């Protein structure tokens, strides 16, 4: 499904998050090495961003590199870091042309220096764009993010800058790396895996999940539009029953 005629553009999720999984397995199935799979994955990112913009999605968050990914073979990790630098350099002009604003979440200070420089350069050059915000989760894990949040709030409590009664859902959200970004209504994962892998655990409390049995390099417009169609045909109840939803509508 790539035709938008079945899509209600007034009911598109404001924020879509994607776990891009399966580059290595895709490469293996094509007789190539894992880095080739990652490079093909960049092409899928480009197509996905284009489709998200067309659908009027306002935030697209991509799980690009987790804290656990450092455990992969050194050659692959170095290749991924080089691919990140290369991709940011090559794509920034097109992002500006298409109104894409770049942001990043995660422990960015833990990335190699050249990656940090390329990332900050791209963020600075695209900061005024308003069509869509592309959020890259880099050196990210939700457990790390929540741990850092707890440390900060605990420190504020000890220093009496806040009281226990000040601790709310909103306060917690404002101390996460995603502060200022709405929670995703839709989470998509490729590769057939049915798990969230330490990704946005606080933020996806009410997200709809779509799991696809394809590897990330094969994800394109058809699959994205299909996931949006799936989302639009679900009933999001937020703890209520169907009758209550119908009354509020």
Give the Cα separation of 187 and 120 in Å (integer).
26
For residues 49 and 60, is the Cβ–Cβ distance under 8 A? yes
Element spanning 134, H or E: strand 132-140
Rg (CA), the chain: 19
Nearest in space to 139 (alpha carbons), one of 207, 198, 76: 198
Residue with tokens 């226990």: 164
Give the Cα separation of 54 and 56 in Å (integer).
5
What residues act catalytically?
21, 69
Helical spans, DSSP H, in the chain: 23-29, 34-54, 74-97, 113-126, 142-158, 169-173, 221-232, 242-248
Give the Cα separation of 189 and 210 in Å (integer).
6
DSSP string, 70-113: GGS-HHHHHHHHHHHHHHHHHHHHHHHHTTEEEEEES-GGGS-H
Give the Cα separation of 150 and 47 in Å (integer).
37
Element spanning 63, H or E: strand 59-66
């Amino acid at each position: 499904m790539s035709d938008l005629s079945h899509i209600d553009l007034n009911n598109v999720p404001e924020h879509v998050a994607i776990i891009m999984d399966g580059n290595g397995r895709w490469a293996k199935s094509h007789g190539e090495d894992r880095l080739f799979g990652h490079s093909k994955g960049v092409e899928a990112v480009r197509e996905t961003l284009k489709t998200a913009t067309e659908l009027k999605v306002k935030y697209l968050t991509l799980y690009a590199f987790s804290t656990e990914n450092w455990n992969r073979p050194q050659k692959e990790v170095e290749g991924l870091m080089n691919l990140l630098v290369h991709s940011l350099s090559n794509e920034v002009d097109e992002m500006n042309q298409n109104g894409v604003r770049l942001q990043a979440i995660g422990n960015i200070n833990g990335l190699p220096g050249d990656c940090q420089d390329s990332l900050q350069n791209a963020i600075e050059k695209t900061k005024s764009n308003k069509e869509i915000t592309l959020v890259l989760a880099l050196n990210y894990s939700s457990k790390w993010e929540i741990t850092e949040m707890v440390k900060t709030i605990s420190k504020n409590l000890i220093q009496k800058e806040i009281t226990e009664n000040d601790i709310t859902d909103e306060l917690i959200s404002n101390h996460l790396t995603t502060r200022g970004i709405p929670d995703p209504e839709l989470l998509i994962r490729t590769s057939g895996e049915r798990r969230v892998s330490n990704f946005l655990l606080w933020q996806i409390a009410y997200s709809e999940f779509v799991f696809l049995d394809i590897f990330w390099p094969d994800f394109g417009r058809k699959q994205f539009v299909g996931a949006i169609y799936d989302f639009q045909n679900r009933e999001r109840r937020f703890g209520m029953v169907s009758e209550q939803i119908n009354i509020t509508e």
